[in-house]
Amino acid sequence: MKTEIASDRFLWGVATSAFQLEGSPYADWTTWDSVLSDNPDVTSHYTLYKEDLKLLKELGVNAYRFSFEWSRIQPRENVWDYEALAHYQEIIDILIENNIEPMVTLHHFTHPLWFIKKYPWHEYPSIRKFLDYVDKVLSTIRGVKYWITFNEPYVLLLGGYLEGCMPPGKRDAVLALDALRNILVCHGQAYDMIHSSIPDAMVSVAHNMAALAPWRRWNPMDRLLAKIAKYFYNHSLLDAFLTGKVYVKFPFRKSLEIPVPIKDKLDFLGVNYYTRVHMRFNPFKKMGVELRHRDIDGYGLTDMGWEIHPRGLEKVLRYASKLDVPLIITENGIATHSSRKKIRFMKSHIDILERCVRKGMDVRGYFYWSLIDNYEWLQGLDSRFGLYTVDFTTLERKPTKAAFYYSYLMKSRNL
Ligand code: FCB
């Protein structure tokens, strides 16, 4: 078996997450959203993984980002499932044999049910529990150089602690700040643990960055809102990696500083980019903010109503470059039933990526979201992100034209 993959090549890949493809009877999301508990068979990848991994080969990617489902590995507080760990190891071995670089996400939104009930992120012991899981993974799994500790920590906090639409379903800014600190402490500790067992590891988070703009450019309140949102949502996490502090800046008051032990604990930055959001001040809405996707550039909206805005990718990459670490686009994709739209989305974003590289930005990889159609958080099964479609009745996978196009793009671009 090969154990080394050339390290200097541009990573062309696709990204997935375990729960969205596999489900899990032990995860908090299974009880949170009944789509999967009502149709457990649709998340068939746990049994069909060998067929799905063949699709990667067929596409010609040289990297694959996927996640471990923590609740399968630790279904109960003091129970480890070694078969689940062996399953993920087998996936890694197959990837390496096929010369495909594995990138593993340790936490992609879901938790074991026991964890979220007993140790939700705002509770201090959540740190120990998460690090036990990291420790178990590191003592059993071999062959992974690229690690993502947390997928979109800010989306997790917004959904779980401000909007209340994701587990643990809180709406409490004070708890959100406790949870933020605990999650970032976990990142810092996991970073050190990964490096002490894999010295040349590349460790990051996958940070969701959006293009954020005022709805009415002439309106000072809209402009202020967009500025605040840009700082909190896109930039404050990057500042935390630079300074070891999260600054919670209030518009007209002093900022609050939360020390977080993550200064420089980042070997590259994973950027997830999808869309632009326009913001408007509206005193009748929650927190005075109204959000909207508008089709300004003429690229249209996705099936989920998100604006397609390729130029936003350049904006977020330019900003992320200030960290002075390599950048990898760890997710970028579109929900649509139309292959034509998928191809247009992909081409326009990869054109921008190429332009950024030519301008000297250190971008080392691009992962299209996603390999196959899968369950989309809170949206169900109709958001078709896959390069391969899945018929959720027969479970048949079929390539879209976008799959052929992606294969061609990867070969034709000189990155
Ligand atoms: C991202 C999530 C990913 C997927 C895409 C569409 O924010 O990380 O799991 O749902 O959105």
- Give the range of the structural domain holding residue 109, as residue numbers without chain letter: 11-208+327-412
Report yes or no on 353 lying in a domain: yes
Report yes or no on 5 lying in a domain: no
Report yes or no on 248 lying in a domain: no
Predicted confidence band of residue 5 (pLDDT cuts 50, 70, 90) = low
Mean pLDDT on 37-49: 88
**What's the total number of domains in the chain?**
1
Q: Does residue 109 sit in helix, strand or coil?
A: coil
DSSP string for 289-348: EEEE----SSS-B-TT--B--THHHHHHHHHHGGG-S-EEEEEE----S-HHHHHHHHHH
Report yes or no on 245 lying in a domain: no
- Check if 155 has its Cβ closer than 6 Å to any atom of ligand 1: yes
Distance, CA of 87 to CA of 233 (rounded, Å): 35
Report yes or no on 90 lying in a domain: yes
- Quote the pLDDT of residue 203: 98
Distance, CA of 383 to CA of 223 (rounded, Å): 32
Please say if 354 is a catalytic residue. Answer: no
User: What's 394's DSSP letter?
Assistant: T
- Quote the pLDDT of residue 24: 95
Residue 2 has pLDDT above 50, yes or no: no
The answer to whether the predicted template modeling score (pTM) of the entire model surpasses 0.75 is yes
Tens digits of residue pLDDT in 252-302:
666 789 999 999 999 999 999 999 999 999 999 988 899 999 999 999 999
Distance, CA of 369 to CA of 383 (rounded, Å): 12
- Check if 383 has its Cβ closer than 6 Å to any atom of ligand 1: no
Report yes or no on 251 lying in a domain: no
CA of 208 to the centre of ligand 1 (A): 9
Tens digits of residue pLDDT in 127-139:
999 999 999 999 9
- Check if 331 has its Cβ closer than 6 Å to any atom of ligand 1: yes
Q: Give the H/E segment covering residue 139.
A: helix 126-140
Q: Which one of 22, 101, 152, 314 is the catalytic residue?
A: 152
Distance, CA of 222 to CA of 111 (rounded, Å): 36
Of all protein residues, whose CA lies closest to atom 10 belonging to ligand 1?
376
DSSP string for 159-225: IIIIS--STT----HHHHHHHHHHHHHHHHHHHHHHHHH-TT-EEEEEEEEEEEEESSTT-HHHHHH
Report yes or no on 298 lying in a domain: no
Atom of ligand 1 nearest to the CA of 206: 8
Residue 1 has pLDDT above 60, yes or no: no
Whichever domain contains 376, its CATH number is: 3.20.20.80
- Check if 400 has its Cβ closer than 6 Å to any atom of ligand 1: no
Tens digits of residue pLDDT in 183-234:
999 999 999 999 999 999 999 999 999 999 999 999 999 999 999 999 999 9
Tens digits of residue pLDDT in 270-282:
999 999 999 999 9
Report yes or no on 267 lying in a domain: no
- Quote the pLDDT of residue 255: 78
Mean pLDDT on 76-100: 98
